[in-house]
Amino acid sequence: MPERRAPVSVVVVNWNAGAVLDACLASVAREATDEVILVDNASTDGSTAAARARHPSVRVVETGRNLGFSAGANRGAAAARGEVLVFLNPDARLAPHALGVLVDALLAVPGAGIAGGGLVDDAGRWQPGAARFAPVAHLLLDTSLGRLPARLRRAPHAVDWVYGTFMAVRRELFRQLGGFDTRYFVYGEDLDLCHRAAALGARTIHVPRARAIHGRNVSAAQRFGTGRTAEVVKGEMRFYAARGGPGALGRFRAVAACKFGLETVLAAALGRSAAAASHGQVVRACLAFHPEREEVPEAVA
């Protein structure tokens, strides 16, 4: 592998991630990185204390309360010294050499400012890691069938936006952008960051060979339960309301309500009550969303 040409800081934001946090940090420890920063959003499950004991080289930044991902990640970035910032979810762990492959691709591709890694689940099944800006294309093409060609790609390639699950950003670009927009407590901040980067002329690339194993969303499951998908969609609606341009929110909301409404009916017909309930919450979120009344979700102690 080529020698990396810039110091790298890995930032992990933790809120009650439990035992998976240790697996995440252990996977980072096997990689050649300059520093690891663990931002603790007032966890109460002992996960950060365990991380201090098992990974003494990790720098811990205490926020004092649950600021959400965006604000927590910004705290970590502010404390970081690296020229490349890598954000990694605590429920993800790196495959061997993934960090080097991601950073090397970011630095090698002309004009690239953001790079996202490839994602698989615990069983090795492919997960999406990139998507489109356009609301209708995102809802209809960034789906299981629409993503079939993406599953076959191996080389780094340009995309609209990448998931913040495993994302590298040039520090100077992150500074220019003012970091993640803290109006997004969680979900939508990665889409927003890539969109603002594109407006500055910075490219976003997806690097499928830089693999992270992304397990169950432990923190999100605790906070949102079966409403997690609805929260994802709310984050995307915040983005389209703020930056999508004329009519973007309306198109997204109409198509999303129809799409998830159909999925609700199909899930109910198949006896999949949990899926039906989850999809139904998305439909209700689409119908109830009013940007003029939107507030940043409250941080919790």
Q: Which domain holds residue 51?
A: 8-221
Same domain for 144 and 248, yes or no, is no
Q: Is 18 exposed, middle or buried (0-12, 13-18, 19+ CB in 10 A)?
A: middle
pLDDT of residue 147: 80
73 or 293, which is more confident:
73
Place of tokens 């076959």: 152
- Any domain includes 67: yes
pLDDT at 57: 95
231 and 206: one domain? no
Arithmetic mean of pLDDT, 157-180:
98
Handedness of CA 16, 19, 20, 21 (dihedral sign): positive
User: pLDDT of 64-82, one tens digit each?
Assistant: 999 999 999 999 999 999 9
The mean-pLDDT minimum among 18-22, 53-57, 132-136, 218-222 falls in: 218-222
Q: What is the pLDDT of residue 220?
A: 61
- Running DSSP on this structure, what letter comes out for residue 30? T
- pLDDT of residue 137 exceeding 70, the answer is yes
Q: Are residues 49 and 147 in the same domain?
A: yes
Q: Let me know the angle formed at the C-alpha of 43 by 37 and 46, rounded to the nearest 5 degrees.
A: 95
pLDDT score, position 59: 97
- On whether both 100 and 167 belong to a single domain, the answer is yes
Q: What is the pLDDT of residue 134?
A: 96
Over 70: is that where the pLDDT of 175 sits? yes
If asked whether residues 160 and 289 sit together in one domain, one would say no
Residues 207 and 227 in one domain: no
Provide the pLDDT for residue 2. Answer: 44
Task: Please give the sequence-ordered ranges of beta strands (E in DSSP) within the chain, or none if there are none.
Answer: 8-14, 35-40, 59-62, 84-88, 92-94, 112-120, 126-127, 130-131, 157-159, 161-162, 166-170, 203-214
d(CA 109, CA 113): 9
d(Cα 100, Cα 204) in Å, to the nearest integer?
17
Let me know whether 177 and 250 are in one domain. no
With a pLDDT cut of 90, the percent of the chain lying above it is: 83
The per-residue pLDDT for 284 is 95
User: Is 78 inside any structural domain?
Assistant: yes
Average pLDDT over residues 271-286: 95
Distance between CA atoms of residues 224 and 92, nearest Å = 19
Q: Which residue has the tokens 């720098």?
A: 59
Domain identity same for 81 and 202: yes
Could you tell me if 73 and 206 lie in one domain?
yes
Bridge partners of 106, per DSSP, are: none
Q: What is the DSSP letter of 296?
A: P
Could you tell me which residue, 20 or 223, shows the higher pLDDT?
20
| Pair (137, 116) in one structural domain | yes
Look at residue 301 in the predicted model and tell me its pLDDT: 37
Q: How many domains does the chain have?
A: 2
| CATH code for the domain in which residue 95 is found | 3.90.550.10
Residues 92-101 have a mean pLDDT of: 97
Whether residue 3 is contained in a domain is answered as no
In a domain, 114, yes or no: yes
Instruction: Report if residue 299 sits inside a domain.
Output: no
In this structure, the answer to whether residues 76 and 144 fall within a common structural domain is yes
Q: Is the pLDDT of residue 287 over 50?
A: yes
Q: Which of 199, 221, 243 is the last residue of a domain?
A: 221
Which of 175, 206, 221 represents a domain boundary (last residue)?
A: 221
234-271 pLDDT, tens per residue?
A: 999 999 999 999 999 999 999 999 999 999 999 999 99
Both 87 and 197 in one domain: the answer is yes
What does DSSP say about strands 112-120 and 203-214: parallel, antiparallel, or unpaired?
A: parallel
Residue 298 confidence (pLDDT) above 80: no
Token pair for residue 287? 């119908």
Mean pLDDT of the chain: 92
User: Which of these, 257, 154, 157, 247, lies nearest to 209 by C-alpha position?
Assistant: 154
Residue 268, classed as helix, strand or coil, is helix
Last residue of a domain, one of 176, 204, 221: 221
DSSP readout, 68-81?
HHHHHHHHHHHH--
N residues, the chain: 301
- Judge whether residue 299 has pLDDT over 50: no
